[in-house]
A and B are shown apart, each in its own frame.
Chain A
Amino acid sequence: MTSCTDICRSILLERMVFNTHSSIAIPEDFLEHKNYVFNLLKSTVVNGENNSALLIGPRGSGKTMLINSVIADLEAICNFEKDYVVIKLHGFFQTDDRIAIQEITRQLFLEEETANRTFGSFSENLNFLLDSLKVADRKTTKSIIFIIDEFDQFCQHKNQTLLYNLFDVCQSAQAPMAVIGLTCRMDAISLFEKRVRSRFSHRQIYLLVKPDFQKYSETFVSLLRLQQSRELKAIYVRSWNKSVEDLAQDPLVQGSLKKVFNLNPKLRLLQNILLVALSRLGESHPFLSSKDIVTAIESQTTDCKTLQLQGLSVLELQLLLCMKYLDKIYFGEPCNYEMAFYEYTKQMKNSSMQKFDRQIAMKAMEHLETLEFIRPVEGISSSKVQKEFVVYHILITSEQLTAAIAKYPNLPTEVKQLADTCL
Chain B
Amino acid sequence: MDFEWIGDPISVNEAARQLTSKTRTFYKTCKYLGTEYYIGDHVLIANSEADDPESFRHCYVASLVYMYEMKSNKKDPFRAQVQWYSRVEQLSKNLRKDGVHPPLDDAWELVHEGQRYKGDVSIETIFDKCSVLICEENEVPRGVGKQKKLCTFFCRFALGPKNSRDLVSVKESLTKQLADMTAKTLVDSFSAINQSDKEPTTPRRISTRSRKMSENDNTDSSVHPELINTPRSSTRNRQPSRQLDNGKNESCIPSASINTPRSSRRNRQPLLLVDSEDDESSVHTGPINTPRSSKRIKQPPRCLDETLPSPLKNSTFSISSNKTKELCIVIQRCKVTPNKEISAVELDQASKVKARKKLDLETPVTPTKAVEQKTPKKPKRAGSVTPGSTQKKRLRLTPAISSRSGNLTEPTSPLGEIRRRLHVAAVPQTLPCREDEFDHIYNYVEGKLADGIGGCMYISGVPGTGKTATVSEVIRVLKESQTEGDLPDFKLIEVNGMKLTAPQQIYVQIWNQLTGSKVTADKAAKLLHAKFSTNGPRHRPTVLIVDELDLLWTRQQDVLYNIFEWPNRPKAQLTVLAIANTMDLPERLLMNRVSSRMGLTRLTFQPYKVKQLQTIISSRLENLVYFEPEAVEFIARKVSAASGDARRALDISRRAAELAEKGSHNISSPTKSPSKRGAHPSKSTVTMQHVQAAIEEMFSSPKLLAIQACSLHEQLFLNALVQEFNRTGVEESVFDQVIRQHYTLCDLEGMSRPNVSELLSVCASLCSSRLILSEHGRNDIRQKVRLNIGIDDVSYALKCL
Are B411 and A139 closer than 8 Å at their CB atoms? no
- Kindly state the separation between the CA atoms of A131 and B762 in the bound complex, as whole angstroms: 46
Contacts of A397 in B (CB 8 A): 736, 739, 756, 781
Partner of B581, one of A58, A159, A195: A195
- B320 on the interface (CB 8 Å rule)? no
Nearest CB on A from B677, distance (A)? 18
Contacts of A159 in B (CB 8 A): 498, 551
- Kindly state the separation between the CA atoms of A143 and B509 in the bound complex, as whole angstroms: 27
- Kindly state the separation between the CA atoms of A185 and B345 in the bound complex, as whole angstroms: 46
Q: State which residues 207-256 of A face B: CB under 8 Å.
A: 208-211
Nearest CB on A from B440, distance (A)? 23
Nearest CB on A from B464, distance (A)? 5
Partner of B403, one of A97, A124, A141, A165: A141
Partner of B758, one of A108, A109, A135, A303: A303
Are A82 and B405 closer than 8 Å at their CB atoms? yes
Q: State which residues 744-796 of B face A: CB under 8 Å.
A: 751-758, 761-762, 765, 768-771, 779-782, 788
- Kindly state the separation between the CA atoms of A330 and B698 in the bound complex, as whole angstroms: 51
- A420 on the interface (CB 8 Å rule)? no
Partner of A144, one of B401, B645, B651: B401
- B284 on the interface (CB 8 Å rule)? no
Q: State which residues 246-268 of B face A: CB under 8 Å.
A: none
Tell me the total A-B contact number using a CB cutoff of 8 A: 227
Partner of A172, one of B425, B701, B706: B425
Contacts A186-B706, A206-B702; A135 near B780 (Cβ below 8 A): no
- B709 on the interface (CB 8 Å rule)? yes
Contacts of B788 in A (CB 8 A): 187
Q: State which residues 415-433 of B face A: CB under 8 Å.
A: 416, 419-420, 423-427
- A181 on the interface (CB 8 Å rule)? no
Contacts A198-B647, A302-B755; A83 near B423 (Cβ below 8 A): no
Are A113 and B397 closer than 8 Å at their CB atoms? yes
Contacts of B736 in A (CB 8 A): 397
Nearest CB on A from B95, distance (A)? 15
Nearest CB on B from A154, distance (A)? 14
Interface size class of B (residues with CB under 8 A): 35 or more
- Kindly state the separation between the CA atoms of A192 and B471 in the bound complex, as whole angstroms: 25
Q: State which residues 113-165 of A face B: CB under 8 Å.
A: 113, 116, 118-124, 126-133, 135, 139-144, 159, 161, 164-165
- Kindly state the separation between the CA atoms of A168 and B349 in the bound complex, as whole angstroms: 29
Nearest-CB residue, chain A, relative to B779: A375
- A280 on the interface (CB 8 Å rule)? no
Contacts A58-B768, A135-B401; A208 near B755 (Cβ below 8 A): no
Are A141 and B409 closer than 8 Å at their CB atoms? no
Interface size class of A (residues with CB under 8 A): 35 or more
Interface string of A28-56 (1 = CB under 8 A from B): 00000000000100010011111000000
Residues of chain A at the chain B interface (Cβ within 8 Å): 39, 43, 46-50, 58-59, 61, 79, 82-85, 97-98, 108-109, 111-113, 116, 118-124, 126-133, 135, 139-144, 159, 161, 164-165, 168, 170-176, 184-187, 194-195, 197-199, 201-204, 206, 208-211, 259, 261-265, 301-306, 332, 372, 375, 393, 395-397, 399-400, 403
Given contacts A135-B400, A208-B708, A210-B708, 4 further A-B contacts (CB under 8 A): A82-B406, A98-B501, A128-B396, A395-B780
The contact sample of 9 A-B pairs, CB cut-off 8 A, is A59-B769, A82-B405, A85-B401, A186-B706, A194-B463, A198-B464, A206-B705, A264-B761, A301-B757
Residues of chain B at the chain A interface (Cβ within 8 Å): 345, 348-349, 394-397, 399-411, 416, 419-420, 423-427, 462-464, 498-502, 505, 508-509, 518, 548, 551, 581, 643, 645, 647-648, 651, 655, 658, 697-699, 701-703, 705-706, 708-713, 734, 736, 739, 751-758, 761-762, 765, 768-771, 779-782, 788
Q: Lowest 6 A-B CB distances belong to which pairs?
A: A198-B463, A131-B399, A82-B405, A303-B755, A208-B709, A262-B712
